[in-house]
Structure 1
Amino acid sequence: MSEQATLSRRTLLKASALAGGGLVLTASIPMVARAATAAAGGPAEATLNAFVSIAPDNTITIVGKNPEIGQGIKTMLPMLIADELDADWNQVRVTQAESDAARFGPQLAGGSFATPMNWMPMRQVGAATRQMMLAAAAQRWGVDAKGLKTELGKVIEVSSGRSATYGELASDAAKLSPPDPATVTLKDPKAFHIIGRAIGGVDSPRVVKGEPIFGVDTQLPGMVYAAFERSHVFGAKLKSANLDAVKAEPGVIDAFVIEGNGNAEQLVDGVAILSNNWWLANKAREKLTIEWDNGPWGDHSSQRYDETARAAMASGKPQEPIVSHGDVDAAFASAAKVLDQEYFYPFLAHVPMEPQNCTALMHDDGAIEFWAPTQNPQAGQGSVAQMLGITPDKVRLHITRMGGGFGRRLTNDFMHQAAAIAQKVPGTPVQLIWSREDDVRSDFYRPAGWHRLRAAIDADGKLTGFDDHFVTFSLPGAGAYNPAAMAPDIFPAKYVPNLRYAQTQMETRVPMGALRAPSSNALAYVMQSFLDEVAVETGKDLPTLLLEMIDGREKEPDERGFMGVSPGFNPDRMRGVITKAMAMANWGKPVADGHALGFGFYFSHMGYFAEVVEASLSDRKQVQVHNVWAAGDVGSHIINPFGALNQVEGSIIDGIGQAMGLAVQIENGGAKQSNFHDYQLPRMPITPKIHTEFVITDNAPTGMGEPALPPVIPALTNALFKLTGKRVRSLPIDTKLFA
């Protein structure tokens, strides 16, 4: 089991009274294991990131610290506290935290990090609060706390049956010293009554009723609206604009140039238009005449990238190694058979249903306040402060509910644009809203990629060599995270005796970022499709090949990373989901005429998923997906089965949509696609029946937002090969292949 973030003996717990009676418990919760041993002490206002308050009427309020983008985290994290507290969920209320690193620690919606980061710390907060309730009752009744128990928001004396609600005891508890969190007793999982229960989203009733909880719903007195015009050519600089003509348009309050800082993740050149009505501001953009300096980027195109990439692969000379072990050249020289194929996947956009937006108010004292739907609020605060030349404490950020994110809102360019505009009109709240065209054409795209894959197969039908020449993009200033990179341990690395990954990079100014299951959403398709080709050449099916490759292999060592110690890849867990998915789909048994099954497996974001797709072709040769069977191992507990199923099903639908029809093409230095007419997201008619089962293992729970997506794409393309004999080596699927 991996090391988990926990509250240590040095963690600060503080109890205080609510106005009018009751208890507030604050706790310093480290979000990574290494932070759990941070130095203790300090004033009461030291780092705080979890809050529990209990009112006299027995209402328990829990703060949801992480941003909610529809992934259910605002429900799931409070469930952990509430269960260990022995609360009645019907009496729990959840409120959204503001962005505040000093109080809440890291606040992030991305990477499927929330569960592994918070599984133990949130439980410890609940257990500590429960222990205080027992201590308060014992003191009130003059009895030993060992003779007391808790149940659904009450403390009960076992011998007499007398009881008191948490609300009745809260004021007494507020006077007690909180327990050492390292010593609190956590529940036996058999006693969980909230963890493992299917619970709907705490915000769902408000969403259904149309309450204004999303970023775009923000309304402030005296607020004006802003539209922002930027170049369609990535990296272009503004030379001139006809501002006077735009200012004369109906409803326009002002129009002015915003000078960028050369960083696409912050601020690009453009023209801001202000109005009391966003539609009028956006319509006024049609009157803009702007002269742009496109520099060397105006002639970049997908076709140019493709030609350059394929020439590089044909050369057989990658620019630089990624990883190599064994003697790859010798393996190919002695091979009885060599497979040599090229695979491609395109740029993809995020297109969350709520376009990017942000409301900003520059105060007279130089401080700035935001209402922003951001997945990465603290990074936004810090970079805005740097851009404006102010200290981070002068940037206040209210986190709003988001209408989807999928990684797009990890990049806070919309916050920087709103800040630059608000700086021009201090004292006036400004709500910047992007049009759908802005959203599609100003994204941070999932990178395109090209792979020349070679496999060496010996006379016994064994895979002895594997070579991947990966052509990708350089990303200047990417730092520790480059979304266009490939990690050296991508499967089947370490599971082929002679293996080499190498790459060639192309220069671009196309902005790139993380899309749900970043890199895995592309590499699973490439690797699992090509391994299916290997399986066919060796007279096997893909699951049989995969099981042979991991046979007798032990778990890989754990590694220290962002969340402390991350568990190493475990072949036993891979075997568990593969065999489960095969059983679920009756793999190997006959299927309906004109149908075929395809298989895919992938490990990403600490989750193991194997999936089987049943597909057919219509009379018009259109791809039809009928069923998907998904087996997942994300540890010992499914905290909220309702939310978990939503994540699996959403991931699978996303993956099918990407495979069947999504691509962003670059023409003349910018994105060709602009709206849903030419970037068509998956809709209900293509949605299959999805059958999900979880393989429960003795491993700490991990996240659900991403790992179910990658394997469905190769499972679909492998099914189509079995059905037609035609191999899909380029996405999205071109149905002309099957004509």
Structure 2
Amino acid sequence: MSAAILSRRGFISASLLAGGGLLFDLNMPVARAADGTPVILTAFIRILPDNRVVIGAKNAEIGQGAKTMLPMLIAEELDVDWSQVTIEQTHAEAKIFGGQSAGGSRTTPREWLPTRQAGAAARAMLVAAAAQSWGVAPDTLRTGSGKVTDPASGKTMPYAALAAAAAKLPAPDPAMLKLKDPASFRIIGQSVVGVDTPGIAAGKPLFGIDFKLPGMLYAVLETCPAHGGTYKSANLDAVKALPGIAHVLTIKGDGTPESGFDGVAILSKSWWTANQARDMLKVDWDVGAVSSFSTEAYAAQAAARRKGKADGDIVRTGDVDAAFAAAAKTVSADYDYPFLAHGTLEPQNCTALFKDGSIEIWAPTQNPESGRALVAKTLNLPPEKIRINFTRIGGGFGRRLMNDYMVQAAAIAAQVPGVPVKLLWNRQQDMQRDFYRPAGWHGFRAALDKGGKLTAFHDHFVTFGKDGKPVRSAELPASELPAGLIDAVLLEQSFLTTNMPTGWLRAPGSNALAFVYQAFLDEVAQATGKDLPTLMLELLGDPKELARGPNGPPFVTERAKGVIRKAVAMGGWADRKTLPKGTGKGFAFYYSHMGYFAEVLEVTIVDGMPKVKTVWVAGDVGSQIINPINALHQAQGSVIEGLGQALAGQQITQVAGAVEQANYDTHPFLRINDAPEIIVEFVKTDYPPTGLGEPALPPVIPALVNAIHAATGKRIRTLPITAEMLA
């Protein structure tokens, strides 16, 4: 954001509201995206006649705190008290509000400067109005608690009293905006309860699943159990004749999971009635092209491919073959992990009303503009004929970056114009129609010289792909450590085919790669007679910055070393050998979504299974923790989710192209009685703040399996962990 480009034209406009309030419409081209187009921030700040302030929250809220955090930034620079602020959710409209997606822990780094500038711009206009009224220089005035004060005369005016004058002033010069010194922050850095938390605790209808409209019909949608199967025929008339059924409709998909596969929709005034009728539906699906896919077949294919020649290189540096030939010792191991479902607590849902050639949508979406484009294509509508309203999201974790449920609801609503339609999946459908975290298999080798130094590293990664490219979320970055830290590195890949839709799961890619890389490096460290923190610190070496792709900031080795040292100090790493038999500590470090995290975990084997006692988390997400209580919860939630992926028995398996798991009993999540104590501390560094929704998750899984090895001597190289692995 240091290269932000501000534009005076269209930067800010102000207008009077009825009753004397002031509306600031802030439109700031502030930076350039990867494709060179401007990233626009537009927010609304309304100052009401009683000096209350209404701030528009423009991003989707999935529990990551953006609906509270972004207004905090505006309120800080506007210099009002938090008690004066009311927050309103905006609708989704990129042309008005700019980027509104929620994913990749990008909200904080993307909005940190421009959102603060929005508040500072409004404050500058109010100060200028006061200076003009009093005949003094603006820089002699002070602000606070929604008032402008002249220290010399003692005069004070609330912002509301300056509304009329401020509305007549020209926009401020962006180059002259002065942001607050962090030392003077009164809102940023303080723990603020989420704006929706009281309503959630009171059971208020905030989520998409709660939304209702008068005259609304509920829809259930049956699709082929084997992903990609196509519709042939069904007993539509028999189902339509059932009591309470309003419509039975067929939906034609375009063959892609994003736009939706073929399906049969059943509509009723009662969701229960529609869902019961679904059990009576008999559909003949054509599954010839997709019935051969199975978990057993994938495993056999991967085992064969991993031993053979790879399809291609991801990165090759140095003379890997020569380094292995000259090695004093080599270490090798095979690792793998399964498909995973998101399992959001709130099943996928969407409400749509098609009327007069336009459609209005109420959706718990993380990525509204993608949904708009898909709906426009499906219904052959101009994008401006589609209005998308945010509902709060009952669990996203990346699942709601995909908008298949929005497209399906729109396609159904378009067949019953003028009638609101609410599509709601049941739990089985939600589990079996996901965009899954892809499975993967890794064949590792490491070469060590006589002094125990790592001289070469090789990973043959087998995953899923098509046309020479990995499927969504199956990418292995060329910068995956230890690449960039040693001379000879070969990362190569081979592809299997699948009918499984894949997608981003919290800390995409990293949630799996951290496990296999940090667990294998723990094996390497043991072979050198060292522990993993020591090996990592040696590999990181002298201070340097490593490129991490064309769009991201560089990887700073000193930041990594900082959290490693912090975590081992927090977790009493030096005393780990004094633990009783059957108890062990493990360590892992990972860089994910611009966050540096190291974690130490203590585990005890109880009745043949690991019981995690404590996790110590050290994180570096830059110079400022905007909302400390939310930051703590994000880190703790990430750790719990990661432990669930490893310990709870989570995996998605296929037979004849269809997913077997149907509910939380077969794809379980960590229960509260299994949650450990989680101690979180942040290492503040002189870098812009970055996001916290994801980077604390990846290290906990390798820290767990490394702790299990310390406690039992057994290596866990596949997930999920079972009692048989420790027997």
* TM-score, normalisation: structure 1: 0.96
Residue 603 of structure 2 is aligned with which of 612, 615, 619? 615
1:17 aligns with 2:16: yes
Distance in 2 between the 1:538 and 1:732 partners?
Answer: 28
Partner residue in 1 for 2:330: 338
The CA deviation at 1:559 is 5.3
Q: Report the alpha carbon displacement of residue 48 of structure 1 after superposing the two structures with TM.
A: 6.3
- Quick one: which amino acid aligns to residue 645 of structure 2? Q
Distance in 2 (CA, whole Å) between partners of 1:234 and 1:558 is: 35
Q: Secondary structure at the residue paired with 2:575?
A: coil
Offset, 1:371: 0.4
Q: Kindly state the Cα deviation for residue 38 of structure 1 after the two structures are TM-superposed.
A: 7.2
Q: Distance in 2 between matches of 1:322 and 1:14?
A: 49
| Cα separation, partners in 2 of 1:6 and 1:96, compared to 1, 3 Å | farther
Q: Answer yes or no: is 1:371 the counterpart of 2:362.
A: yes
Please give the per-residue CA displacement for 1:248-274, whole angstroms capped at 9, x wherever unaligned.
222111112111111111121110000
Kindly indicate whether residue 291 of structure 2 is the aligned counterpart of residue 284 of structure 1: no
2:99 paired with 1:106? yes
Query: Residue 564 of structure 2: which of 578, 600, 621 is its match?
Result: 578
Check conservation: 1:331, 1:464, Cα contact below 8 A: yes
Quick one: which amino acid aligns to residue 98 of structure 1? H
Corresponding residue of 1:424: 415
Quick check: 1:355 aligned with 2:347? yes
Q: 1:675 corresponds to which residue?
A: 663
- Sequence identity (%): 52
Provide structure 2 residue ranges, at least 5 long, that are not aligned to the other structure.
Answer: none
Give 1:636's match in structure 2, choosing from 599, 617, 623. Answer: 623
The aligned counterpart of 1:296 is 289
**Cα separation, partners in 2 of 1:580 and 1:39, compared to 1, 3 Å:** closer
Query: Residues 22-33 of structure 1 correspond to what in structure 2 (within 5 A)?
Result: 22-30=21-29, 32-33=31-32
Amino acid in the other structure paired with 1:678: T
Once the 2 structures are TM-superposed, how far is the Cα of residue 54 of structure 1 from its aligned partner? 0.4
Secondary structure, in 3 states, of the residue corresponding to 1:296?
A: coil
Q: Identify which range, 576-585 or 128-137, moves more after superposition.
A: 128-137
| Structure 1 partner of 2:201 | 208
Partner of 2:574, secondary structure, is coil
Whole-angstrom CA distance in 1 between matches of 2:166 and 2:5: 23
Tell me the CA shift for residue 26 of structure 1.
Answer: 1.3
Q: What per-residue deviation string (whole Å, max 9, x for no partner) do you get for residues 13-42 of structure 1?
A: 1111112111111112346445999799xx
Structure 1 residues 508 and 559: alpha-carbon distance in aligned structure 2, compared to 1, 3 A threshold: closer
1:454 aligns with 2:440: no
| Per-residue deviation, residues 323-377 of structure 1 (Å, max 9, x unmatched) | 100011111111111112110010000011111000011112x111100100000
TM-superposition CA deviations, 1:82-122 (whole Å, max 9, x none): 10111110010111111111101111000101011100001
Q: Deviations over 1:490-536 (max 9, x none)?
A: 11111122110111101111000000000000000000000000000
Distance 1:4 1:733, change over 3 A: farther
* 1:11 to partner: Cα distance: 5.2
SS of 1:589's equivalent in the other structure is: helix
More displaced stretch, 549-558 vs 591-600: 549-558
Contact persistence 1:125–1:181 (CA under 8 A): no
Match for 2:655: what amino acid?
E
Q: Secondary structure at the match of 2:422?
A: strand
1:59 & 1:356 partners in 2: Cα distance?
36
1:478 CA drift (Å): 8.0
Task: State how far apart, in whole Å, the 2-side matches of 1:570 and 1:491 are.
Answer: 12
CA distance in 2, matches of 1:200, 1:532: 40
2:249: which partner in 1? 256
Matched, 1:444 2:435: yes
Give the stretch that moved more between structures: 571-580 or 123-132: 123-132
* CA 1:430–1:498: 2 relative to 1, 3 Å: same
Find the aligned partners of 1:7 and 1:699 in 2 and give their Cα distance: 21
- CA apart distance, 1:475: 4.8
Instruction: Give yes or no for the alignment of 1:587 onto 2:573.
Output: yes
Deviations 1:680-708 (A, max 9, x none): 11110111111000000000000000100
The farther-off stretch of 659-668 and 686-695 is 659-668
Give 1:165's aligned residue. 158
- Contact map agreement 1:8 1:182 (CA 8 A) in 2: no
Counterpart Cα distance in 2 of 1:473 and 1:76: 38
Structure 1 contact 10–38 (Cα < 8 Å) conserved: no
Decide whether the 8 Å contact of 2:485 with 2:540 is kept in 1: yes
Query: What letter matches 2:372 in structure 1?
Result: Q
Is the CA contact (8 Å cut-off) linking 2:31 and 2:38 kept in structure 1? Answer: no
Matched residue type, 1:583: A
Which AA in structure 2 matches 1:502? E
Greater Cα shift, 214-223 or 624-633: 214-223
Q: Quote the Cα distance in structure 1 between the aligned partners of 2:37 and 2:423.
A: 40
- Structural RMSD (CA): 1.8
The aligned counterpart of 1:649 is 636
In structure 2, what is the equivalent of residue 125 of structure 1? 118
Residues in 2 aligned to 1:89 and 1:39: alpha-carbon distance in whole angstroms:
31
Between the aligned partners of 1:522 and 1:39, the Cα distance in structure 2 is 33
SS of aligned partner of 2:417:
coil
Match of 1:483 in 2: 473
Determine if contact 1:84/1:127 at 8 Å carries over to the other structure: yes
Instruction: Provide Cα deviations, 1:567-602, integer angstroms capped at 9, x if missing partner.
Output: 100000000000000110111214542321100100
Aligned partners of 2:509, 2:486: CA distance in 1, in Å? 21
| SS class of match (2:148) | strand
Q: Secondary structure at the match of 1:115?
A: helix
Cα 1:409–1:127 change in 2 (3 A) is: same
2:710 matched to 1:722?
Answer: yes
Contact 1:346 1:448 (8 Å CA) reproduced: yes
Q: Secondary structure at the match of 2:545?
A: coil
Report the Cα offset of residue 140 of structure 1. Answer: 2.3
CA distance in 2, matches of 1:560, 1:186: 29
Change in 2 beyond 3 A, CA 1:436/1:38: closer
Partner of 1:405 in structure 2? 396
For residues 31 and 311 of structure 1, do their structure 2 counterparts lie closer, same or farther at Cα, with a shift above 3 Å needed? farther
CA distance in 1, matches of 2:34, 2:502: 31
The count of corresponding residues between Structure 1 and Structure 2 is 724
Question: 1:171 offset after TM fit, Å?
Answer: 2.6
Q: Deviations over 1:145-166 (max 9, x none)?
A: 2321011111111023221111
Cα–Cα, structure 1 residues 612 and 5, in superposed 2: closer, same or farther, change >3 Å?
Answer: farther
Find the residue that maps to 1:691 and give its secondary structure.
strand
Which residue number corresponds to residue 706 of structure 1?
Answer: 694
Superposed CA offset, 1:539-563 (max 9, x none): 00000000000111411247542xx
Give the secondary-structure state (helix, strand or coil) at the position aligned to 1:720.
helix
Partner of residue 44, structure 1: none
Distance of 1:155 and 1:10 partners within structure 2: 26
Question: Which residue of 1 is the match for residue 651 of structure 2?
Answer: 663
Query: 1:266 corresponds to which residue?
Result: 259
Counterpart in the other structure of 2:536: 546
The AA in structure 2 aligned to 1:20 is G
**Match for residue 519 of structure 1?**
509
Find the residue that maps to 1:297 and give its secondary structure.
coil
Separation in structure 2 between the aligned mates of residue 36 and residue 261 of structure 1, nearest angstrom: 28
Partner Cα distance (1:221, 1:5) in 2: 46
Q: Aligned to 1:295, what secondary structure does the other structure show? A: coil
What's the TM-score, normalizing by structure 2?
0.97
- Determine which of 314, 324, 330 is the counterpart of 1:322: 314
Cα contact 1:664–1:672 (8 A) shared by 2: yes
Evaluate the alpha carbon distance shift between residue 35 and residue 21 of structure 1 in structure 2; reply closer, same or farther with a 3 A threshold: farther
Instruction: For structure 1, list consecutive stretches of 5 or more residues without a partner in the other structure.
Output: 41-46
